Structure 1
Amino acid sequence: MTAPLLVFGYGNPSRGDDALGPQLLELLAANQERHPEWPEIELLTDFQLQIEDAADMENRDLVLFIDASASCPAPFSLSRIQSSQDVSHTTHAMSPATVLQVFERVYRRPAPPAFLLAVRGESFELGEPLGREAEQNRDAALDLLIQLCARPYPDVWQTFSR
């Protein structure tokens, strides 16, 4: 059986604050054990989104993408995303909106409701650890994630969007 909620956390753990997505997925996994009342959640992590990720969205009720961002306001932003093709779309790196569009092209139906949790990062240098501000932003984002997982409904999540 497919978990109704899919969470993608992506980024490169060797590039400083780019580790925010994978770290949040690890923390969310630890919290799953403490919250048996949550619905089943599948957690997937990678360095970047790819075309194949569209297949993972099949039979889902809700999808959340988590990524570090140098341009969102601190500590994070949550936004609903719609399918669209990026002008920079390549098969090497994709945006969540493009993954949604691939889903719609392949399955010939609308993609499940999807949101992007962008967590503010400052330093993305190779070999750097996660920065102090990024850790604080990560912890604030984890608090939100716990609330979202307790109520995995698009209309509820929309109330947290900023």
Structure 2
Amino acid sequence: MKNSVMVIGYGNDLRSDDGIGQRIANEIASWHLSSVESLAIHQLTPDLATALTRTDLVIFVDACLPVDGWDVQVRSLSPACDIDNSVHIGDPRSLLALTQALYGHCPTAWLVTIPGMNFEIGDRLSRIAEVGKAVALVKIIQILDKVKNYWVDFQVSA
């Protein structure tokens, strides 16, 4: 089955704000949107390349350190120029390159990063991450609206 969206939220959910990607993926899964699959995972691994072949659009969601301020960042992604030779695919661009190399298909891709300030062991989000979560969900809805009207599915079934 193709013509779908995959949201992949990743990070360590035992490290406070680092788990924000997984929390967002779980929230989106609770919306029960048709044609939108949501994965909450610890890290990006090569086996995800197979799942990406069935996807037209992938949205990666992760925490980040606040380098350029506290804003949620959204950027389009293209495959990395060279595939990392390591066993683990550490970043979305490497995973996209692997998908392209193995299967000849690379979905349209976006990366949504949410700044965090607490990456210590724990399961509570900082206030900054909580606000970022809400902003990121709105930005993901905007991406879905631009690509195809997936949001209508949620409004009709809610």
Normalised to the residue count of structure 2, the TM-score between the two structures is: 0.82
* Residue 28 of structure 1: aligned partner: 28
Q: Which runs of 5+ in 2 are unaligned?
A: 149-158
* Residue 143 of structure 2: aligned partner: 148
**Which of 74, 77, 84 does residue 80 from structure 2 map onto?**
84
* Residue 104 of structure 1: aligned partner: 100
Aligned residues: 147
**Which of 120, 132, 150 does residue 125 from structure 1 map onto?**
120
**Which of 33, 36, 41 does residue 41 from structure 1 map onto?**
36
Q: Which runs of 5+ in 1 are unaligned?
A: 154-162
Question: 2: distance between equivalents of 1:75 and 1:104?
Answer: 31
Deviation at 1:20, TM superposition (A): 0.7
Question: 2: distance between equivalents of 1:137 and 1:77?
Answer: 10
Question: 2: distance between equivalents of 1:88 and 1:121?
Answer: 27
Deviation at 1:93, TM superposition (A): 4.9
Q: Is the 8 A contact 1:28 1:146 kept in 2?
A: no
The worse-fitting range, judged by mean Cα deviation, of 38-47 and 115-124 is 38-47
* Residue 67 of structure 1: aligned partner: 62
Alignment identity in percent? 29
Question: 2: distance between equivalents of 1:116 and 1:4?
Answer: 17
Q: Is the 8 A contact 2:23 2:40 kept in 1?
A: no
Question: 2: distance between equivalents of 1:11 and 1:72?
Answer: 20
Normalised to the residue count of structure 1, the TM-score between the two structures is: 0.80
Question: 2: distance between equivalents of 1:118 and 1:12?
Answer: 14
Q: Would you say 1:7 and 2:7 are equivalent positions?
A: yes
Q: Would you say 1:58 and 2:53 are equivalent positions?
A: yes
Question: 2: distance between equivalents of 1:9 and 1:144?
Answer: 14
* Residue 138 of structure 1: aligned partner: 133
Quickly say closer, same or farther: Cα 1:87–1:121, change in 2 above 3 A: farther
Deviation at 1:61, TM superposition (A): 1.2
For residues 25-46 of structure 1, what are the alpha-carbon distances to aligned partners after superposition, in whole Å with 9 as ceiling and x for unaligned? 122123x24xxxx651011121
- Structure 1 vs Structure 2 CA RMSD: 2.2
User: Hey, which bits of structure 1, 4+ residues long, moved more than 4 A?
Assistant: 85-89
Deviation at 1:3, TM superposition (A): 5.6
Question: 2: distance between equivalents of 1:59 and 1:11?
Answer: 23
